[in-house]
Amino acid sequence: MKHWARLDSPKFTLAIVVIAYAVFLDLRLSKNDHDFSAFVTAGDLYVNPATAPDNLRILRDSAGYDGQFYYRLALTPFTSERSDLGITLDYPAYRQQRIVYPLLAWGLSLGQPGLVPVSLLVVNFLALCAIAWLGSKYAQMVQLHAIWGLAFALFAGFLLALSRDTAEIAEIGFLLGSAVCLRQNRQVLAAALLALAVLTKETALVTAFGILIALAIRQKRTRSRTLWFPAITPILAYVLWQSWLNHIWNSTSVTETTVSANIGMPLVGLSHFVQSILPVGGHLQLVWLIELLLAATFMMAVMWALHQSEAPRLIKASWLLYVALMLSLTQAVWVEDWAFLRVLSEFYLLGIMILLESESRLRKLVFCESTVSWLLLGIDVVKMR
């Protein structure tokens, strides 16, 4: 017990996370001949091999993936050209609204194009370290052992975001940092971090609206005035950035095309996805079905603990909004785990917070479930994809 008490430190949790993700990255890099640009997943539909940077691996006859647009923005964060450096942005305003992750990679690379593939990966790795540290701090704040911080960092969706240079990990790092600051009553820093989360990925706005809902139904008004600032600041930051995007591109990221592609009638996209993988016809379909069942189990566990949890009302309200968002996603998202698991990042983060502040025995089950699913998906990604 004395040894266990000595390990009640964010440093211990951080060490585990560093080792776990370092091993995963080493295996992924070895599989790709230690070519960091393989994580960009650039395809020749949007990337011209003749004019793109020489150090960028480009997939033939492929549309590539979101990482190629983060890569382009990490080369020129404040670009006003749709096509440049051999890379075309499919929806410029939509892509550039998620500016913080590529901007951090650009800064870390010191503006050197050859270092951008490495810097994109390093930013995500450092964000994972921050999530491990902050998650341990959060656990200690609610009188739990720091090892519970692993529940935050070992989310299976992070393996996919890390493998394709996407922004979810950085967004969750800022979002978790904001939650920790709110618990410490550091409203200004919480507002700044939540604004950064929103400018990393716009879905973090749901948390700001969750705070507003919690304020609207709050019975005790003692702290309501101070909570308005973390709620309004990220919304204002988003509106100002959208105004700038409209000035540059004559369009904001919120268009009929971008909204209808991602949000639709509740359960329609999910039901179509379930129908497409049943009966199970192969390895990937089996993996996706297991992931769906685990997500459903997680949601039921959080629902069970929701009433008794002492988590702040703003966390509960935000989580319920993310559930509504998740169920309203279209077939463009409910298509493969590379898409839907990443989108579930906020749903998972806030759900873990709710569980940790409950006395439900299910939290231990969820902890084991998330750790094992992280390990199994990591093996699957390394060996099969």
Interior CA angle at 223 toward 222 and 224, to 5°? Answer: 100
Render 99-119 in DSSP notation, one character per residue.
Answer: -HHHHHHHHHTTT-GGGHHHH
Going from N- to C-terminal start, the domains of the chain cover 2-384
Cis-peptide into 279, omega within 30 deg: yes
Query: What's the pLDDT at 2?
Result: 53
Model's pTM, two decimal places?
A: 0.95
* pLDDT tens for the chain, residues 1 to 385: 556 677 899 999 999 999 999 999 999 999 999 999 999 999 999 999 999 999 999 999 999 999 999 999 999 999 999 999 999 999 999 999 999 999 999 999 998 999 999 999 999 999 999 999 999 999 999 999 999 999 999 999 999 999 999 999 999 999 999 999 999 999 999 999 999 999 999 999 999 999 999 988 875 554 556 789 999 999 999 999 999 999 999 999 988 888 999 999 999 999 999 999 999 989 999 999 999 999 999 999 999 999 999 999 999 999 999 999 999 999 999 999 999 999 999 999 999 999 999 988 899 999 999 999 999 999 999 999 9
Query: What's the pLDDT at 224?
Result: 56
Distance CA 197, CA 176 (A): 9
Tokens of 47: 């990337």
Query: What's the pLDDT at 315?
Result: 96
Render 163-221 in DSSP notation, one character per residue.
Answer: HTT-SHHHHHHHHHHHHHHHHTT-HHHHHHHHHHHHHH-GGGHHHHHHHHHHHHH-S--
CB atoms near residue 199 (< 10 Å):
23
Backbone phi, psi, residue 112, to 5°: -90, 115
**Pairing, β 42-43 against β 58-59:** parallel
* Cβ neighbours of residue 206 closer than 8 Å, sequence gap 6 or more: 318, 321, 322, 325, 346
Nearest to 120 by CA among 195, 68, 192: 68
